[in-house]
Structure 1
Amino acid sequence: MNIDKDLLYSFGAENKIYKKKESVFKEGDHVVYFFQIAKGKVKLNNYSEEGKEFIHNILGKNQSFGDALLFLNQYYPMNAICLEESEIIRITKDNFMEMIRKNPKLSLEMNTCFSQEIFYKLKMMQSMASENPIQRLKGVLDYLKSYHDGDCTHCFPIEFTRQQIANLVGLRVETVIRALKKMEKEGSIAFKERKILY
């Protein structure tokens, strides 16, 4: 969800600069703000008891995170960590709710975004249940591409490292590399300057 910055500022939003590797929030923190990235990249993740990382998503400029949790009286079920120095617009939960009440059209737009996110997450979960690594990769690539406008072949650059992709799909990085090579031979992806194009 990308909300007009002027609207956010008119309801008391502020910009905050975070350093690379700095946490925006941690798993278990109480939900306090709506966050929208003005500049930089943020990863949403968890760590298992054994310390293995699971990445839920990596977000960039004009993308928001934690929005759905503002409507629940819960804690964050994940971490938000900056992958590079990032400038993030944040607005308190109370001010955010007032903004929604005074702008009902915004509420409808948010419902559309939440519905799309749920749809693609369900599709991705279906793929993740597969033992086939290529099926898992296609599921996550489709999910990532869902944030991209346009329907084209090999035009969407995947901005993740092979390790980050492995953490997204729950596979070893070596398995991901082999599966990506097979997908390239099949023509479902292309490589350009070490980037994956889907």
Structure 2
Amino acid sequence: MLINPDIKDFRLAHLFRDLEREVLAQIARHAVWRELDAGEPLFARGDAGKYFFLVKTGAVKLFLLSEDGEEHIMEIIGRERLFAEAVMFMGGSYPVYATALEPSRLIAFDAQFFVSLLRNNSSLCLTLLAAMSRQMHALVAEIDRLTLQSSARRLAQYLLAQPAHKSGSSRQVALPASKQTIASLLDIRPETLSRLLARLTDDGLIAVHADSITILQPTLLDQVL
């Protein structure tokens, strides 16, 4: 049985936070929960883009495959993040593969219904344009980070951007994926990532654990070049 989400489950996502409750209620009636096991595909490249998604728990990797089958991670989508929303405006297919990195719970939104709402509500269009513009600025900053910064700087900024449990001046960061996956995301080799983690550890900036990292000196880590 398909279960619809409640408004409170998604209203804080960037695409919805400025929408009126009546509109949110309509969206909720055309959305369903999706449960994925670790390693379970959500969609493949070329599949019809019928839905866009919000991750509530777990994490999903977006990736492409080279001709020889090598996986290249494009993005890791963590909790409370939307993805694939751009596909509904293009009316096409998904340009990447999506697979759960761990047991995950998502909300799937009906893209066709959402577009029909926009066609009949000009003020809603303007609200969403503002929300997507804010998101675009964030993505441009992310592209700058990946293309203009050194590998050490990219790693430092990636760690600082992750949700963290604070204890005094330190931060405990749970890694959302394997170190190999994170290396692919940051466009560096796994062995380079290992060397960088060792260097930051020797410098007293971080402590590396099995599936987490403690940021011991956040201010100094932010100054890594």
Normalised by the length of structure 2, the TM-score is: 0.69
Q: Is the radius of gyration larger for structure 1 or structure 2?
A: 2
CA deviations 1:30-67 (Å, max 9, x no partner) are 32212111222111111212222211222222111112
CA contact (8 A) 1:45 1:53 kept: yes
Letter in 1 for 2:132: M
Q: What secondary structure, in the 3-state scheme, does the structure 1 residue paired with 2:202 have?
A: helix
**Separation of aligned partners in 1, 2:104 and 2:148:** 33
Taking only the aligned residue pairs, the percentage that are identical comes to 26
CA contact (8 A) 2:78 2:176 kept: no
CA deviations 1:112-147 (Å, max 9, x no partner) are 0122112212321223xxxxxxx2243255256446
State the Cα distance separating 1:186 from its structure 2 match.
3.3
1:118 aligns with 2:135: no
Specify the alignment match of 1:166 in structure 2: 183
Structure 1 residues 155 and 165, CA gap change in structure 2 (3 angstroms): same
CA contact (8 A) 1:40 1:84 kept: yes
Q: What secondary structure, in the 3-state scheme, does the structure 2 residue paired with 1:155 have?
A: strand
Letter in 2 for 1:179: L
CA contact (8 A) 2:45 2:93 kept: yes
CA contact (8 A) 2:33 2:108 kept: yes
CA contact (8 A) 1:27 1:78 kept: yes
Letter in 2 for 1:67: E
Structure 1 residues 82 and 13, CA gap change in structure 2 (3 angstroms): same
**Separation of aligned partners in 1, 2:38 and 2:25:** 25
Aligned partner (choices 78, 81, 85) of residue 63 of structure 1? 81
Specify the alignment match of 1:139 in structure 2: 154
**Separation of aligned partners in 1, 2:91 and 2:140:** 20
Q: Aligned Cα RMSD in Å?
A: 3.1
Which blocks of at least 5 consecutive residues in structure 2 are unaligned? 1-11, 216-225
Q: What secondary structure, in the 3-state scheme, does the structure 2 residue paired with 1:116 have?
A: helix
Specify the alignment match of 1:40 in structure 2: 58
1:89 aligns with 2:89: no
Structure 1 residues 156 and 121, CA gap change in structure 2 (3 angstroms): farther
1:10 aligns with 2:32: no
**Separation of aligned partners in 1, 2:88 and 2:155:** 26
**Separation of aligned partners in 2, 1:27 and 1:144:** 29
1:183 aligns with 2:205: no
Normalised by the length of structure 1, the TM-score is: 0.77
Structure 1 residues 18 and 159, CA gap change in structure 2 (3 angstroms): closer
CA contact (8 A) 1:68 1:114 kept: no
Structure 1 residues 159 and 30, CA gap change in structure 2 (3 angstroms): same
State the Cα distance separating 1:154 from its structure 2 match.
5.1
**Separation of aligned partners in 2, 1:87 and 1:8:** 20
CA contact (8 A) 2:172 2:212 kept: no
Letter in 2 for 1:138: R
CA contact (8 A) 1:34 1:96 kept: no
CA deviations 1:15-42 (Å, max 9, x no partner) are 1222322211111223221211122211
Letter in 1 for 2:143: K
Specify the alignment match of 2:219 in structure 1: none
